[in-house]
Amino acid sequence: MNRNRTLLTILAVTAALALAACGSDSAPKSGAPASAGADGSWQATLQQARGQTVRWWMYGGDDKINSYVDDDVAAALAKFGVTLKRVPVTDTADAVKRVVAERRAGKTSGGGVDVIWINGENFASGKKAGLWLKSWSQTLPNAKAYVDDRDPSISTDFQVPVAGQESPWQRAAFVYAYDRAKVSNPPTSLDALLAYAKAHPGRFTYPAPPDFTGSAFVRQVVAAKGEDAGFAYLRALKPYMYRKGESFPKSQAELDTMFGDGQVDFSMAYDSSFVNVGVRRGTFPKTARPLLIGQGALSNTSYVTIPANAAHVAGAKVLANVLLDPGLQALKADPNVLGNPTVLDRSKLGARAPEFDRATGSNPYLLKDFGVPVAEFSADRVEPLEKRWTRDILR
């Protein structure tokens, strides 16, 4: 009895402490941090950044990107006296959750996340909650020199204005893969895809939304045909799909394995170099080739953002600037390295343009032409489309 009372007391004290601490769960007083950025001088930023260690939380499942960051980016950053620490995550949401927890705990400075590789809904919802540092990306020297900020694919992220809260890094295009040894005449439009599925039932599928890739496929269909006609198309497609559309892969990785094992004839990804990567990893046969379906590929840009409470804001800005360095961007665009199209505006490159010419070496696993890029949807249309898919197609 005494002991139970002790137990209850411990519980009550803990509850009281927690609730008291919880009371301070309010938004920070102002969006602008006290230090770096207030004086606007890049030199001052460089001075402040010297000696800092920047923690960059980014997807860690691609060894080539990892070594590009660990070797090339880190070396470039070291020239400014900044150390780079890459924190691998499985999903960008993991990084956002840490920032959210810091916000709930009332931690308005000295945060544990300095930079996040982010875009789309993660960025949009963070922006709504005021999680990101404001009005800094347009002040970067490399951004002013080489980035075309009137390009809507740069200045809006899923149609949400970037507002200087994130700095561009990579471009992505939604492409498909097929096996040249099995399919000699791949479909190049959605209607041709439907015809192919009818002629070869069970040989096509896509990941179930809300998986990122599956969701993007649904958006491509809706972008091409409109929402109701698009869903009519998906319904028409369903009975000719793998397993008659009764079950879908839950991730792009699963679809890739199915494609590699010959269970289906196509794969897809929101990564223009995914065929290159798949062959490198041995998941795809060497006869795999990238494919464009439709007039143009659904495109987006991914960025790096700085949480408003980051501990090393100056170092983070220097990192974002370094990522826009033409030398590093050219290396990234090199088909033998990563093969990602650059976010820089070629017309502004001037003397540095030749570095990008070597990036047109031929690589059969990379598409040269993405057609007329299809702009992404508004971030708040994404979830309703996914919900509609679950209602109309899955069940």
Partner 1 sequence: MPDTRLRRSAGVLLAAFFALPLAVLVVRAFADSWRAPALVPQHFGLRGIREAFSGIALDAFANSLVVAVIVTAIAVAVGWPAARVLGERRLRRPGAVFVVLAMPLLVPSYATGNGLTEWLLRLNLADSITGLVLAHLVLVLPYVIVVLLSAFGPRVTVLEDMARSLGLTPLQRWRWVTLPAVAPTLAAATFLGFLVSWSEYGSSLAVGGGRELLPVILLPFVRSDPQIASALALLFLAPAIAALGLAARAARSPL
Partner 2 sequence: MDTRHPALAAPTTPGPAAAVVGRDAARARVRRQRRRDRVALAPALAIVVTVFGGALLGALHASVTPLSATASAGATLDSWRALFADPAFLDSIAFTVKLAVVTTLAATGCALAVALMLRSRGTALRALASLPVPVPHLLVAVTAVLWLAPGGLADRILGGLPLELVRDRYGIGIVLVYVYKETPFLVLLLLAAMGRGLAEREEAAAVLGASPAQRLRWVVWPTVRGPLVIGAIVVCAFVLGAFEVPLTVGPNYPLTLAEYASQATQNDVLTGESLAAAALLFTAVIAIALAVIAVRFAKDPQGA
**Structure tokens belonging to residue 195:** 């015809």
SS3 183: coil
Binding-site member from 61, 110, 262, 327 for partner 2 (CB under 8 A): 262
135 binds, among partner 2, partner 1, none (CB under 5 to 8 A by kind): none
What does the block give as tokens for 25? 């769960």
| Residue of the chain from 92, 102, 173, 308 that contacts partner 1 (CB under 8 A) | 102
CA separation for the pair 204, 283 (Å, rounded): 17
* CB closer to partner 1, 87 vs 232: 87
- Residue 89: which of partner 1, partner 2, none does it interact with, CB under 5 to 8 A by kind? partner 1
Using DSSP, state whether 176 is helix, strand or coil.
strand
Instruction: Pick one of 31, 88, 130, 202: the residue that binds partner 1 (CB under 8 A).
Output: 88
Please, which residues have CB within 8 angstroms of residue 73's CB and are 6 or more apart in sequence?
Answer: 84, 319, 322, 323, 328
Is-contact 208 215, C-beta < 8 A?
no
Task: Please count the other Cβ atoms lying within 10 Å of the Cβ belonging to residue 78.
Answer: 12
Contact (CB, 8 A) for 143 and 137: yes
Hunting for tokens 């390295």 — which residue is that? Answer: 337
375 binds, among partner 1, partner 2, none (CB under 5 to 8 A by kind): none
> Angle at which helices 313-323 and 326-333 pack, to 10 degrees?
60
Cross-strand bridge partners of residue 58: 88
* Single residue of 151, 228, 246, 392 touching partner 2 by CB under 8 A: 246
Q: What angle do CA 371, 374, 377 make, to 5 degrees?
A: 170
DSSP state of 289: E
Q: Which does 59 bind (CB under 5 to 8 A by kind): partner 2, partner 1, none?
A: partner 1
109 binds partner 1 (CB under 8 A): no
Q: What distance in Å separates the CA atoms of residue 57 and residue 162, rounded to the nearest whole number?
A: 20
Residues 271-300 touching partner 1, rule: CB under 8 A, are: 281-283, 285
Contact letters for partner 2, residues 46-85 (x by CB under 8 A)? ----------------------------------------
Tell me if 2 contacts partner 2 by CB under 8 A. yes
6 binds partner 2 (CB under 8 A): yes
Q: Does 105 bind partner 1 (CB under 8 A)?
A: yes
User: How many angstroms separate the CA atoms of 228 and 385, rounded?
Assistant: 11
63 lies in the site for partner 1, by CB under 8 A: yes
Of 53-61, 75-83, 248-256, 289-297, the window that binds partner 2 (rule: CB under 8 A) is: 248-256
CA distance 105 to 354: 50
**12 versus 101: smaller Cβ distance to partner 1:** 101
Q: Does residue 346 sit in helix, strand or coil?
A: helix
Phi, psi dihedral angles at 90 (to 5 degrees): -85, -25
Using CB under 8 A, pick the residue from 19, 39, 40, 43 that binds partner 2: 19
* Residues near partner 2, by CB under 8 A: 2-3, 6-7, 10-11, 14-15, 17-19, 22, 25-27, 93, 96-97, 100, 103-104, 121-122, 125-126, 128-130, 208, 210-212, 243, 246-251, 254, 257-258, 261-263, 382-383, 386, 390, 394-395
* Residues near partner 1, by CB under 8 A: 1, 3-4, 7, 18, 21, 55, 59-63, 70, 85, 87-90, 94, 97-98, 100-102, 104-107, 112, 251, 253-254, 257, 260-263, 281-283, 285
